[in-house]
Amino acid sequence: MSWGRIANDDRLFRLCTFPIAFKTGKKKCIFEPKKVMYIEPQDDGSLAASLAWQRFVPTADLVHQYGCRLSRGINKKKKDEGKYSDAKRNVYCGSYQLRASDVRDLPSNVQGVVFADVYHQIENDEFAHAHLRILLEANWDSEGTKTAILVWLWGACYGPLAHICDCDKHLNPHPHVDLGPGPRGPYHDTRSRFERWRAVLRFRVCNWLWQKFFR
């Protein structure tokens, strides 16, 4: 279900977790910017990734609540499958922000990409979930193009907006300390106070309607 088109100027957040966005060794972990987006191949040949639409996570606190739920869900799934270990538990570290237009500019800036879009798609009961979908030319070097896509999207990021979930406060050191600076600079909420107030009100109304009538 979609609750509106994501405009080019709308902001999106990529939720960054450990160990997905890191290179892990025996003694330390190293932040790997190209792993932040974590694009996965789909059965139809497309590439996909998950983002959070700022319209429905209009405050930093709501972004981080989403991120903490994401990590808890990943860990629960691993426990249910008998694959969980404390050493490799998923840990939410923070988020990076980019614009929807940065996604849609991919075909003009990365050779081999013929289509790229991002749209609202509720997933796993997450109202703010946005689906990023990319199509490549047939018989193209998918691995090389995938790397170029990751580099382009990382280059569009602001941040990080770092965070420690309550369930991870015992970790010392917490992997969020290793997050690298976004190439476009630190995260800043450029909305006016009125715009932020209106965004929160819209979110509360839409979320209530979804919970009440559509969930």
| Tens digit of each residue's pLDDT, the chain (215 residues) | 566 789 999 999 999 999 999 987 666 778 998 889 889 888 888 899 999 999 999 999 999 999 999 999 999 999 999 988 887 899 999 999 999 999 999 999 999 999 999 999 999 899 999 999 999 988 777 778 889 999 999 999 999 999 999 999 999 889 999 999 999 999 989 899 999 999 999 999 998 998 888 87
Structure tokens at 1: 């279900």
Domain range holding 110? 11-190
| Residue 71 counted as domain residue | yes
| Residue 197 counted as domain residue | no
For CA atoms 23, 13, 2, 135, the dihedral sign is negative
Q: Is 36 left (phi over 0), alpha (psi -120 to 50) or beta?
A: alpha
Beta pairing partners, 118: 132
Burial annotation 112-137 (CB, 10 A radius, 16+ → b, else e): bbeebebebbbeeebbbbbbbbbbbe
Tokens 């929807």 — which residue? 100
| Residue 203 counted as domain residue | no
CB 108 within 8 A of CB 75: no
pTM value is: 0.92
| Residue 120 counted as domain residue | yes
Looking from the CA of 125 toward its CB, the CA atoms found within 13 Å total: 5
CB 206 within 8 A of CB 56: yes
CB 162 within 8 A of CB 174: no
| Number of domain units in the chain | 1
